[in-house]
Amino acid sequence: MKKENTQHLAGVSRRSALKSIGALGGAAAFSSIPGFTGMVHGQTDEPVRLGFQVHRTGIGAAYGRWYERTTNAAVERINNMGGINGRPIEIVGEDDGTDPKRGAEVVEKFATQHNCDAAFGTLFSHVVIGSAPRAGELKLPYLVVSEGHHVASGILNRYTLQPCITDVKSQVQAMAPFVHDNLGKKVTMIYPDFAFGHDHRDYFSEAFARRGGTILEQIAIPPAETAFTRYFPRIPRDTEILYHVMVGPAVLTFVKELGEFFGGSGPALFGFIDSLEAVDMNSPGLEFLDGSYFWEGMPRYQQEGMLEFDAEYRAAVGVDANGASISDSRDVSTYAHMFGCWETLHFIRDVMTAAAGSGNMKQAMIEAAEGVTDIAESIEHPQGAKLFNGKTHQVFGHQYISKVEGNRLNVVHSTSIEDTFYPDEVDYTQQEL
Amino acid sequence: MIRPSRDVSLHAGVLAALLLLFFVTSAYHNGNLARIMVLAVFAMGYNFLFGYTGLLSLGHALFFSAGMYGLGISMNHLDMTVLPAFGMGILASLAVTGAIGFLALRTSGVAFMIVTLMFAQAGYLTILLFGKYTRGDEGFVIQQAERTLFGIDLTDPTNRYFAAFALFAVSYLFIAWAVRTSFGRCLVAIRENEARARMLGYDTARHKYLALLASGVLSGASGAGYALLFGYAGATFASVQYSILPLLWVLLGGAGTTIGPLVGTAFAFYLVDVSSEFTSAYLLVVGATIVFLTLFFPQGLSGELRRRLAPWLP
């Protein structure tokens, strides 16, 4: 029978000792003290090699660029603090072309050619799902930054984790209460007709109905579509909220045509910032979005009095208060997602520190990770506090809802971590290491 | 004393070399070679139609993915074991190729390219449409525990290598045999001048249909083999780029040669793999190399070898 909550772990004594990422962080901090460092440093001077599966080309390239910058910033910080167990981190970056075949090849390369201690950084779900079987077979810890529900759904394996970014199922269902209570009870959904869109369709519909709301219509847009106006007459007139999650190159056309269709008198809009990651909110055609709402994984525009460590994190990764590059204000970041790389690298440092001295570092890393529960908000986890579920290998955390006001996203609501919980669907700790 | 012919020696040598490579290369290259051998079967299937029959298809991704999903869905949704699931992959590719071939072979030349491309695109969208079973663009995993054949764990690196080798060897020997038969020679005659072959009394339509079926089944076997040995099936493999790739591999390796597909697949793999270690602009290197080879070695690497040194190359 599935458990109703995701917070607690199996009572393994070794894991209990490693329960809090705070404690792990403490151990990591100790490793930067000269004496302590010397003790673990004695094991080897070799760098810790981390395979970074980067979307440098293909549809994920905009994300990949910023994932890489964030990764470099995190590595610089960790190495300046003494690295991992006294060993510097060396990033082995390989372009996966945002392609599952190449992704699997790259994972093999990390494991068998570069002798990496772990791999991380993958965003697109199809690349994760195509690569994870090889990571599991090669017993290479594979820490993804993807948002997909693939890890927690149980289809992957014990060596695959998503420790620092929440999954789409938890994100979507956490939106339903806000949408229902604040924006309207009758929703029409527009989504791309592939797995990403289907996840939104299924998880939001279920959560919204549970809250007492009604889904009036579900409009699936074929993947190769470039013009959208002909779909809009299918939106029922009594729609109060239009939930949209279009992604890809045609998203600006979608928003522009939506604006022209309604002419400022349509239903309220709610969307996911995935549609507009790396897109300047001042782009022509986006004026229509003024007053609409978006989910954000981490607020792109710096919010006064929110997220204590946001400013320090922005400075470290080279992003200004508007979410753009410090060196080029037109180079807008993928701010709602890229924190996952920063946090994952610190997570890797902490679990490797906790696993120091073990005969098999890779297995010990997995066991140490499975022992983590609470992740405190800190400069190492600037997006906010989180709870990691060692059984499902998935983290749960706060979500942010922002309103577009004057071409800027202002946070109007942040969810609790509990809002994102759903019953466990797998217990990876039952699988062999 | 009967001496083996040169092409028999060549084919035996290629297979022996692939066996030997397992023992002398690192784990990394073992893994690469396993993948290359599986994908070379795809290229061999493509070569049978393009290199020997002269039909340029842009829809082979559909045949590859038919085999991939035939096996994957049979294992994941119908709880089949490896062998019958592999058979389902072959059957799926045979059925898809048979249906498409029946319509597409009414055209030729550019029209054939466009029709096969359109069918493949329709197939790709169909996979997305039935996301409940195919998981669309995300695809799905075939679990490690299920990938065993007669108790042999196909996810073990050694077993995977030899399973890939077996698939490659059977396909390679089939092609090597088929192109030497009167049927194979007739395909070459069709490629060179279809009207003349027809005038000589050959049923060219039947020959082309059978060639397409063989090509599609080999592609499907490769797709099923990929899903089985690497644990993943996804719609990406039905997208247009996976129709272009076998064409590229065959052109690089040498169209109309038996070893060309293997050479081309290996060359393209290592071109990407090695160049990406030196520069992030590796696609530029790959593109420039392909342009260079196309300009100066238009018959591909094996084709050029045949032209310059070994005219007997099959």
Return the structure tokens found at A371: 């022992």
- B272: Cα separation from own chain's centroid: 19
pLDDT at A242: 95
Return the structure tokens found at A56: 């440098």
Q: In this predicted model, which residue has the larger pLDDT, B52 or A11?
A: B52
Judge: B231–A137 Cβ closer than 8 Å, yes or no.
Answer: yes
- The CATH class, in words, for A169-296 is alpha beta
Judge: A126–B236 Cβ closer than 8 Å, yes or no.
Answer: yes
Total structural domains within chain B: 1
pLDDT at A222: 84
Mean pLDDT of chain B: 94
From the list B295, B294, B299, the residue with the least C-alpha distance to B311 is B299
pLDDT at B281: 87
Q: Is A427 left (phi over 0), alpha (psi -120 to 50) or beta?
A: beta
* Residue that the structure tokens 């929703």 belong to: A187
Judge: A196–B231 Cβ closer than 8 Å, yes or no.
Answer: no
Share of chain B above pLDDT 90, in %: 83
Residues whose CB falls within 8 Å of the CB of residue B177, separated by 6 or more in sequence, listed in order: none
* Residues 33 through 52 of chain B touching chain A, CB cutoff 8 Å: 35
Share of chain B above pLDDT 70, in %: 99
CA distance B179 to chain A (A): 31
Model confidence at B69: pLDDT above 70: yes
CA distance A172 to chain B (A): 18
User: Best mutation site among B138, B144, B222, B226 for testing chain A: the one with the most A CBs within 10 Å?
Assistant: B138
Q: How far apart are CA A184 and CA A182, in angstroms?
A: 6
Is residue B167 in a domain? yes
Judge: B231–A134 Cβ closer than 8 Å, yes or no.
Answer: yes
pLDDT at A39: 40
- Does residue A247 contact residue A196 with C-beta atoms inside 8 Å? yes
The DSSP-derived string for B76-88 is HTS---HHHHHHH
Residues whose CB falls within 8 Å of the CB of residue B225, separated by 6 or more in sequence, listed in order: B38, B41, B67, B86, B163, B164, B167
pLDDT for B3-15, tens place per residue?
A: 668 888 899 999 9
- Does residue B139 contact residue A126 with C-beta atoms inside 8 Å? yes
pLDDT for B201-210, tens place per residue?
A: 999 999 999 9
Is residue B307 in a domain? no
CA distance B141 to chain A (A): 7
pLDDT at A15: 46
Return the structure tokens found at B198: 């027809």
Is residue B246 in a domain? no
* Domain A169-296 in the same topology as domain A13-166+334-392: yes
Q: How many CB atoms lie within 10 A of CB B295?
A: 8
Q: How many CB atoms lie within 10 A of CB B44?
A: 32
CA distance B207 to chain A (A): 34
Rg, Å, chain B Cα set = 19
Query: What's chain A look like in SS3?
Result: CCCCCCCCCCCCHHHHHCCCHHHHHHHHHHHCCHHHHHHHHCCCCCCEEEEEEECCCCCCHHHHHHHHHHHHHHHHHHHHCCCECCECEEEEEEECCCCHHHHHHHHHHHHHCCCCCEEECCCCHHHHHHHHHHHHHCCCCEECCCCCCHHHHCCCCCCEEECCCCCHHHHHHHHHHHHHHHHCCEEEEEEECCHHHHHHHHHHHHHHHHHCCEEEEEEEECCCCCCCHHHHHHCCCCCCEEEECCCCCCHHHHHHHHHHHHCCCCCEEEEEHHHHCCCCCCCCCCHHHCCCEEEECCCCCCCCCCCCCHHHHHHHHCECCCCEECCCCCCECCHHHHHHHHHHHHHHHHHHHHCCCCCCHHHHHHHHHHCCCEECCECCECCCCEEEECCCCEEEECCEEEEECCCCEEEEEECCCHHHCCCCCCCHHHCCC
pLDDT at A385: 97
Nearest to A129 among B27, B32, B232 (CB): B232
Domain A13-166+334-392 has CATH 3.40.50.2300: yes
* A195 near B CB under 8 A: yes
Is residue B74 in a domain? yes
Q: Which residues of chain A have pLDDT under 70?
A: 1-44
pLDDT at A251: 80
- Does residue A288 contact residue A259 with C-beta atoms inside 8 Å? yes
Q: How far apart are CA A281 and CA A286, in angstroms?
A: 7
pLDDT at B306: 87
Return the structure tokens found at A231: 């779909």
pLDDT at A268: 92
Chain A residues with CB-CB distance to B141 below 8 A: 129, 132-133, 155-156
Is residue B295 in a domain? no
Nearest to A130 among B28, B234, B273 (CB): B234
Judge: A125–B155 Cβ closer than 8 Å, yes or no.
Answer: no
Nearest to B232 among A95, A109, A130 (CB): A130
Return the structure tokens found at B260: 């060309």
Chain A residues with CB-CB distance to B144 below 8 A: 133, 136-137, 157
Residue of A nearest to B283 (CA): A57
B2 burial level (CB within 10 Å; 0-12, 13-18, 19+): exposed
pLDDT at A9: 36
pLDDT at B3: 60
pLDDT at A29: 43
Q: What number is the ipTM of this complex? A: 0.90
Q: How far apart are CA A51 and CA A129, in angstroms?
A: 17
pLDDT for B100-140, tens place per residue?
A: 999 999 998 999 999 999 999 999 999 998 988 999 889 99
Judge: A133–B272 Cβ closer than 8 Å, yes or no.
Answer: no
Question: Over the range A302-340, which residues count as b (16 or more CB within 10 Å of their CB) and which as e?
Answer: bbeeebebbeebbebbbbbebbbbeeeeebbbbbbbbbb
pLDDT at B249: 95
Q: Vertex B243, ends B27 and A132: CA angle to 5°?
A: 40
- Which sequence spans correspond to the domains of chain A? 13-166+334-392, 169-296
Residue of A nearest to B227 (CA): A130
* A130 near B CB under 8 A: yes
* B32 near A CB under 8 A: yes
